[in-house]
Amino acid sequence: MRSGYFSHSGRLFFLIYKLTVCLHAVFLGYILLTMSDQNPGKLNRLLAGLGDSTLVTTRWLREHGYASNLVARYVASGWLESPARGVYLRKGGHLSWQGVLRALQADEGLSLHAGGRFALAWRGHEHYLRLGTSATVTLYGPGSLPGWAGKLPLKERIVGCGKGPFDFQALRFSGESADEALRERGLERLSHDSEAHGLVFATPERAMLELCDAPVDAALVYEADALMQGMANLRPKRVEMLLRHCVSIKAKRLFLALAERHAHAWLPHVSLENVDLGRGKRALVPGGRLHPTYHITLPTDLDEQLG
């Protein structure tokens, strides 16, 4: 009876011993794998490439050899932080709209540019804009913004405005060869400002047409009129090209009516021969005054607003 008991106990002890050895081997393998993944050189390369406001996405990290479980360990160890699901900053870094736009344009490969109201504000026209609107980053381009773009704790609000009023085909912004194609679409890559260096913005000509395409009310017309007053240096050939590619009748008529109203010297050099301005009258502002050339209604108190 007792010998059978010891025989059974011996087998149980042997099984426990084998299980312990196996678990130890698995644990040792996990530790070795973890140490390999957390190679200081690999981590240092990542941290060295991240500026104070550089935002990187899960896809970018994966494409550069950083698997999701490794990134999770970097976060747990305090090397990275995640301000929203799917994006990461170096620990101690700060969020900025420039970092967000750079991640969208470069990492995600999205054809999104800063345009409309925000592009004009960034170029020094904030004093013409409605109070508070310059804190909204207006992005134009095909497709939708990724979900994380609207969940970041930024002081600015990131807003996708859709494709906008133009019929241009989507264009990837990467590569120097794209710069000429950008110019042909009324876009340009900034180089004069360190924080926004390399980001793609609408030129003033395109940004004005994008603004004129926004939902119209009297306040928008006042704003667009004040901005147009300062647009004495627009390039007529670029204006002409953009008018040909603009599919918004409302935007084209409002743009031209305001340019005529301020008698800009460049306007007579813009040919409207191949520009579709539509037909009939358009009531942009109820009860407004009909423009004799472009047949849209404008607020009757425009002159008072400029004062």
- Given this model, what pLDDT does residue 131 score? 44
Per residue in 66-94, pLDDT (tens digit) is 999 999 999 999 999 999 999 999 999 99
Q: Looking at per-residue confidence, does 194 or 290 come out higher? A: 290
- Domain boundaries of the chain, sorted by first residue: 38-94, 107-202, 216-307
Burial (CB count <10 Å: 0-12, 13-18, 19+), residue 85 = exposed
Phi-psi label, residue 204: left if phi above 0, alpha if psi -120 to 50, beta otherwise: alpha
Per residue in 36-47, pLDDT (tens digit) is 445 677 888 898
Distance CA 64, CA 289 (A): 59
- What does DSSP assign to residue 133? G
- pTM over cut 0.85: no
